[in-house]
Chains A and B, each alone.
Chain A
Amino acid sequence: MNFRKTLLSVTALTTIMGAGAGAVLAQDSITIASWGGAYQEAQRKAWFDVVEEELGIKVIEDTTSGAADVRVQVASGAPTWDLVQQGNYSCAILENEGNVEMLDESVLSVPGIPDIMKGKGWISNLVYGAVLARSDAAYPEDKPNSWADFWDTEKFPGPRSLRRNPVYSLEAALIADGVPMDELYPLDTERAFNKLKELKDDVAVWWSSGAQSAQILQDGEVDMALVWNGRAQSIADAGAPVSITFDQQMVLTDCWVIPKGAKNKDLAMKAIEIMSRPEVQARISLFINYGPANADAFDTGVIDDDVAKGLPSHPDNVAKGFVLDAGYWAENLDKLTQDFDFFIQE
């Protein structure tokens, strides 16, 4: 399905490029690919419009479905995208593979974005969290609030759900087993898998997409789940008896990369620099329930206090959890994915 999506977007892109070529020539432009939908609309209003105005260029949009798209573009020798949004360990993996341009110092030195949220070839722009969401119907009084509670099937009986992926699941298992959040990496994988084994029979669903994680919570298929905060929030807003806690959350980021050999590399670099500034970063939370990656954005006064407290990247919420180590996963994803697949099928 991903492949078809890729094909579709490549076809769509070709059409757009063909049709738009005449109009764009008069003006410089960059092409940005992101996740599409409401997410990209928010980015357009919060960031792309600002870039267009300040640089006097046009931002052409496209959509991506993941790292494979970037690889295909780079392998083609003439990438049509100048800037691509990716999930954070994908950025680090693409950097390791040599598929991205190294970022200028001017970009990396923008104040406010912590070191763990950037690499030599990527920088984070949006923050979300992998959090514990639970059914208020199943646990009306005493609610599970930690990964230890998530593992405590006596105190909190009921089916659970984890992501069908070693990322997040191994971290949650280690925290449940008593590893302090600041001593997680490098992961003690053996210990993590042993802890996961304890819970295996109570994991009713290993979810593979964000939509699925929301559906099983909403339909009562599971009573608690490790999910992305935005997904749980959206069904809670729609009236489902579901709540989340930021306690022990895993802070995750999406990030920018410039595909190796991008035509408008210099303009893309300038665009990232603009979109990383605190006052521009802050704007994203006006349009969607995600937090800015730049911590200084919370001091700009752009985001309402009420909204800010519900964002995973609000300093108070970040302090309750830890930032997922993208570099660790970039190195170990391959091996641990195979081990995890084996574990699930055992």
Chain B
Amino acid sequence: MTATEHTEPLNKQALKRQARTQQRNELSLSLPAFILVGSLVLVPIGWLFWLSIYGADGFTAENYIRLLHPSYKKTLITTFELAFLVTGLCILLGYPLAYLASQLKPRMASLVLLCVLFPFWTSLLVRTYAWLVLLQRRGLINTWLMDMGLIDAPLKLAHNFTGTTIGMVHIMLPFFVLPLYASMKTVDLSLLKAAANLGASPVKAFWQIYVPLTLSGLGAGVILVFVLSLGFYVTPALLGGGRVMMWAMQIERSMAVYADWGAASALGVVLLVMTLGILWAFARLTGAMSSVEGK
């Protein structure tokens, strides 16, 4: 140990020391933030966990045993199915949109972004009801299609899984487009020209150069949309017609129906653990991908 230290140049040691001091200073500066996060996030989550395992009669697994009822399994599947589907559709719709916006002249780009942002500023409840007006049996879309003679009977667009998906994708799209757009703006387009110069077709250059360079924005968008979708309540409740049962609705139900907070807490813990698990897997996956890119 000492041997290596002696062989290192003196100024390198000094630099290291300085870096350490700086790190300590930064740490002490962020201490208030740590305390805030700790007391506002970790303590309540710990309390939530405690409530789910400690009832009136001491420690109990009762709150978790009740989750074995098949209805909860169904809800869990629906919740993740919807979250995956919404995330997938956001990628399909959002990626070309963000790409378009990033390639336009600033004036046009801000117009496109405004169109993305405008619904973002409107209340979620209002937008959900607006979809109901469009999608329901005697809604605008069905009336229009029937008047045109394209369909004979109204399509079942609202009050089911379809309606919920449409509504949620619309609400989630800005969360996906904005981080992606930001990362696309930082891509050096001369890299694509260089790729073309080296003989890559535009398609190949796009997939091998452009997409990997926007992965960080894509990842941020995907995580935002996925995690927010998992906790959705209002849109599935209004557009799902009672059929689409999300985990958040089960939590609300448990609060309203059962006497103690334990049942709802257990539901919260399960969702939290599953979400963290998926995020961890996602981080591993993208980590592996970016390290491949690094080589």
Contacts and interface: CB of A to CB of B under 8 A. Distances in A.
Interface in A156-189: 159, 164
B247 to A, nearest CB: 12
Nearest to A164: B242
A345 B74 contact: yes
Contact of A344 (B66, B233, B243): B243
B138 A219 contact: yes
B241 A205 contact: yes
B159 A3 contact: no
B257 A337 contact: yes
Given A2-B252, A204-B159, A341 B257 contact: no
A162 B238 CA distance: 15
Given A2-B252, A164-B242, A221 B75 contact: no
A1 B234 CA distance: 9
Interface in B228-242: 233-234, 237-238, 241-242
A207 B69 contact: no
Contacts of B159: 204-205, 221
Interface stretch (A64-72, A104-112, A228-236): A64-72
A127 interface: no
A167 to B, nearest CB: 11
A338 B69 contact: yes
B136 interface: yes
A71 B259 contact: yes
Interface residues of A, number: 31
B245 interface: yes
Contacts of A164: 242
Interface in A303-346: 333-334, 337-339, 341-342, 344-346
B280 interface: no
Interface in A1-16: 1-3
Contacts of B252: 1-3
Nearest to A65: B256
A179 B136 CA distance: 35
A97 interface: yes
B257 A334 contact: yes
Contacts of A341: 71, 74-75, 245, 250, 253
A79 interface: no
B113 interface: no
A345 B234 CA distance: 18
Contacts of A1: 233-234, 252
Interface in A211-232: 212, 219-221
Q: Is the interface on chain B under 10, 10 to 19, 20 to 34, or 35 or more residues?
A: 20 to 34
A190 to B, nearest CB: 16
Nearest to A212: B238
Given A2-B255, A205-B242, A208-B237, A220 B137 contact: yes
B137 A66 contact: no
Contacts of B78: 345
Contacts of B243: 206, 344-345
B294 interface: no
B255 A159 contact: no
A338 B256 contact: no
A339 B71 contact: yes
Interface string A270-299: 000000000000000000000000000000
Contacts of B234: 1
A67 B78 CA distance: 28
Contacts of B255: 2-3, 68
A87 to B, nearest CB: 11
Contacts of B233: 1
Nearest to A207: B242
Nearest to A206: B242
Nearest to B137: A221
A71 B252 CA distance: 15
Interface of B: 66, 69-71, 74-75, 78, 136-138, 156, 158-159, 233-234, 237-238, 241-243, 245, 250, 252-253, 255-259
Interface of A: 1-3, 66-68, 71, 93, 97, 99, 159, 164, 204-208, 212, 219-221, 333-334, 337-339, 341-342, 344-346
Given A93-B259, A205-B242, 12 more contacts: A3-B255, A97-B259, A99-B259, A204-B159, A204-B241, A208-B237, A212-B238, A221-B136, A221-B138, A341-B250, A341-B253, A345-B75
